[in-house]
Amino acid sequence: MSDIGKSVTQFIIEQQRAHPSSTGEMTGLLNDIVSACKQISHLVNRSGIIGLGGAAKSENIQGEVQKKLDIITNDVMIEHLNWTGHLAAMASEEIDQIIAIPAHYPKGKYLIAFDPLDGSSNIDVNLSVGTIFSILRCPEGVTEPIEADFMQKGTEQVCAGFCVYGPSTMMILTTGHGVNGFTLDRDVGEFILTHPKMTIPEDTAEFAINTSNRRFWEPPVQRYVEECMQGTDGVRDKNFNMRWLASMVAEVYRVLTRGGIFMYPMDSKIAAQGGKLRLMYEANPMSFIVEQAGGASSTGYQRIMDIEPTGIHQRVPVILGSKNEVERVVRYHSQQ
């Protein structure tokens, strides 16, 4: 019997049953994240009506002007998760320090790092945005986690997911056993399995990169993109299409559905900060998902999930998507 049409709650519980050692804590945590994303979807969809568009009067740790929804969605994630007893601590793109669980709430065995509203600059122009999260185990015996306890490689993730708030709201999840996509049915208020066992084609003719940065890229990326632009007139002997949505969740969802390569590579103007995208709550969760779907994810020099983190807001270059294209870009880096 097909799993299509099952609710995400049923799907998660059945996945838990398949692992007898499961305690149900992950199930509970995922259901809390699902509830938070439903509320965020509602707020995003109604932001223009209830006056939540536009900028707040504040900046985040990244020095980026925060949108009102950045702050509100961050609060939604914290309020849905801090009381549940499944987490030992949290980390958010919007907050400098890690977020402790209030003393009057029970703690659990997991850590979560999240970007509550990735691509929020798209809110005011009505383009897709999303929530990205990464779940790690709290180190054994640690009851008051500090930032160092989050410094775990991407390969240590036990779960990763994102919600994309687009023409439809989709939840994409992996717990290390493949990737599944759920669509929010607003009539019943449930995420329904619509895209089971998502896989990324190993080849593609579609690349995504912010080409306004071309003059700042390193030679291997310049070479790769130039060859794509030359199409059948060049060495690739095929024509390519280009996309740039300024929303990582939308780009990764597209790659999951039809293949592609998404790049936010190192460039000379951001070299001092290590890259653009954040390792712990953007690059690592998306890399886990992409690899679980048969794709690849690299900085150009190393597998992203092998990076030893040095900080919760650390930035890295990202080249992810269809395996054969990512491997080509990595090869170009090794040949320079």
Q: Which residues bind ligand P6P (CB under 6 A)?
A: 118-119, 121, 210, 246-248, 264, 276-277
| Nearest residue to the partner ligand P6P, using Cβ | 248
- Using left for φ > 0, alpha for ψ between -120 and 50, and beta otherwise, residue 142 falls in beta
* Minimum gap (Å) between residue 190 Cβ and ligand P6P: 27
Q: CB under 8 Å to 240, separation ≥6 — which residues?
A: 205, 206, 207, 228, 229, 231
CB of 133 closer than 8 Å to CB of 113: yes
Distance between CA 105 and CA 113 in Å, rounded?
19
CB of 318 closer than 8 Å to CB of 277: yes
CB-nearer residue toward ligand P6P: 122 or 322: 122
* Minimum gap (Å) between residue 308 Cβ and ligand P6P: 22
* Minimum gap (Å) between residue 169 Cβ and ligand P6P: 17
* Minimum gap (Å) between residue 263 Cβ and ligand P6P: 10
* Minimum gap (Å) between residue 218 Cβ and ligand P6P: 16
CB-nearer residue toward ligand P6P: 119 or 161: 119
CB-nearer residue toward ligand P6P: 120 or 292: 120
CB-nearer residue toward ligand P6P: 8 or 283: 283
* Minimum gap (Å) between residue 141 Cβ and ligand P6P: 35
CB of 74 closer than 8 Å to CB of 90: no
* Minimum gap (Å) between residue 30 Cβ and ligand P6P: 23
* Minimum gap (Å) between residue 90 Cβ and ligand P6P: 19
CB-nearer residue toward ligand P6P: 175 or 287: 287
The HSE-up count of residue 178 (CA atoms within 13 Å, CB side) is: 10
CB-nearer residue toward ligand P6P: 264 or 288: 264
Residue type, 188: V
Q: Which long-range contacts (CB under 8 A, 24 or more apart) does 82-86 make?
A: 84/28, 84/29, 84/32, 84/108, 85/28, 86/25, 86/26, 86/28, 86/29, 86/32, 86/110
CB-nearer residue toward ligand P6P: 101 or 256: 256
Measured torsion, CA atoms of residues 313, 317, 323, 327, in degrees rounded to the nearest 10 = -140
Integer distance in angstroms from the first to the last C-alpha of the chain? 51
CB-nearer residue toward ligand P6P: 87 or 283: 283
CB-nearer residue toward ligand P6P: 119 or 181: 119
Distance between CA 169 and CA 41 in Å, rounded?
7
Residue whose structure tokens are 């870009």: 329
* Minimum gap (Å) between residue 235 Cβ and ligand P6P: 27
Per DSSP, the residues of 266-332 read -BTTTGGGT-SEEIIIIIHHHHHHHHHTT-EEE-SSSBGGG-----TT-EE-EEEESHHHHHHHHHH
